[in-house]
Amino acid sequence: MTVGTRPRARRGTARTAVRTHVSGAASTALRPLLGAPRRPARVLAAFPAGLYLEVRTELEPQVVAVVTGEATRLPNAVVLNGDMPRAEVGDDAAVGDGSIEVGGLSLRAGRWWNPTPRLGPVDPARLAEALAAMSETCASSPRRPGLDRSQTVAELAEGCAAGSLVRMIDAAEGLVGLGPGLTPSGDDILSGTLVSLRHLGLAAGAERAVQLAGWLAAAVTFDARTRTTPISATLLHCAARGEASAEVLAVLRGIAGRQALEPALNRLLRIGHTSGADLAWGLLIGLSAVLDLAEVTS
């Protein structure tokens, strides 16, 4: 998925004479940004079901997704209780002091949702069953990853499974920003791998997997804004903290036996052109590594 960013005259401003005040369900990952002093922002991408706002900071990119209930609930999203405001790429916005202002809309968090799963302990035998089921569903799905048959992805999987920090980081460095679109395939795979290693590693008591997640997080987020798109850099930072979309969280809960796995996995696979399949591939890489590393430490 691509979006044009050709300079043009600004149509909107951060403040308008009349504003519509609405509420939404905000990710707790956005608490620091929404609670900070008001900062200028701009519309980075605009679609019928969502807007991406880039907040202007001196540090790593901070992108906020404003979406409807039909859109993917990203870990950096506020889900509107109402219609999407009319806005175009390049329009001014503002984020902070408890609200988001864009396209004549003033949006505040009416409630919060947590993008970090709470899985609890999981028997490795349960994870092995989930790995077999996921592998079968992904292999038979017509939705293919954007980097299908990539040697670099295979090297990432091998490095994670072996618990090799050097091999894992070498492969990850080659994947950051790899592929077209707002969220390149390489980044989606890394995001899935990060949350899978961290949360399933904790659930299975595979300490080495959790350690690898920490090192991988540091490697893929270092200076991410120069290596990938602002939206994808923000999502990598979310994944590094263990935060994921609602669709990914559902698959993690399915893997842990907290809900049905197959329907959740099929919903994830349908996201975007390749994003859902890329995320599922990353989850598989992490899950397989957790099982291998849990056997080593048991």
Cβ-contact 41, 94 below 8 angstroms: yes
74-122, pLDDT tens digit by residue? 999 999 988 888 899 999 999 999 999 998 899 999 999 999 988 999 9
Does residue 118 form part of some domain?
A: no
Q: What is the largest CA-CA distance in the chain?
A: 64
User: Quick one: 90 and 151 in the same domain?
Assistant: no
Does residue 69 form part of some domain?
A: yes
Of the candidates 41, 43, 66, 65, which has an alpha carbon nearest to the alpha carbon of residue 55? 41
99-110, pLDDT tens digit by residue? 999 988 999 999
Q: Is the pLDDT of residue 7 over 60?
A: no
Q: Is the pLDDT of residue 46 over 60?
A: yes
The DSSP call for residue 84 is P
Per the structure, the complete domain to which residue 102 belongs is given by 20-112
Does residue 136 form part of some domain?
A: yes
Alpha-carbon span 212 to 85, nearest angstrom: 41
Residue 10 has a pLDDT of: 47
Question: Which residues contact residue 152 at a Cβ distance below 8 angstroms, ignoring those fewer than 6 apart?
Answer: 171, 174, 175, 178, 186
Q: How many CB atoms lie within 10 A of CB 82?
A: 12
Percent above pLDDT 90 for the chain: 82
203-212, pLDDT tens digit by residue? 999 999 999 9
Alpha-carbon span 272 to 71, nearest angstrom: 10
Out of 9-13, 131-135, 253-257, pick the least confident. 9-13
Residue that is last in its domain, among 50, 80, 112: 112
Please report, for residues 46, 207, 210, 225, 294, the alpha-carbon distance to residue 297 in angstroms, rounded to integers and kept in the order given: 47, 8, 13, 36, 5
User: pTM, whole model, 2 decimals?
Assistant: 0.91
User: Quick one: 45 and 163 in the same domain?
Assistant: no
Q: Is the pLDDT of residue 287 over 70?
A: yes
When pLDDT is averaged across residues 217-222 and rounded to a whole number, the result is 95
Residue 297 has a pLDDT of: 59
Residue 223 has a pLDDT of: 87
User: Quick one: 175 and 37 in the same domain?
Assistant: no
User: Quick one: 193 and 85 in the same domain?
Assistant: no
Phi, psi of 52 (to 5 degrees): -115, 125
3-state class (DSSP) for residue 65: strand
- Domain count across the chain: 2
Does residue 128 form part of some domain?
A: yes
Does residue 273 form part of some domain?
A: yes
Does residue 187 form part of some domain?
A: yes
3-state class (DSSP) for residue 276: helix
User: Quick one: 261 and 147 in the same domain?
Assistant: yes
Cβ-contact 54, 20 below 8 angstroms: no
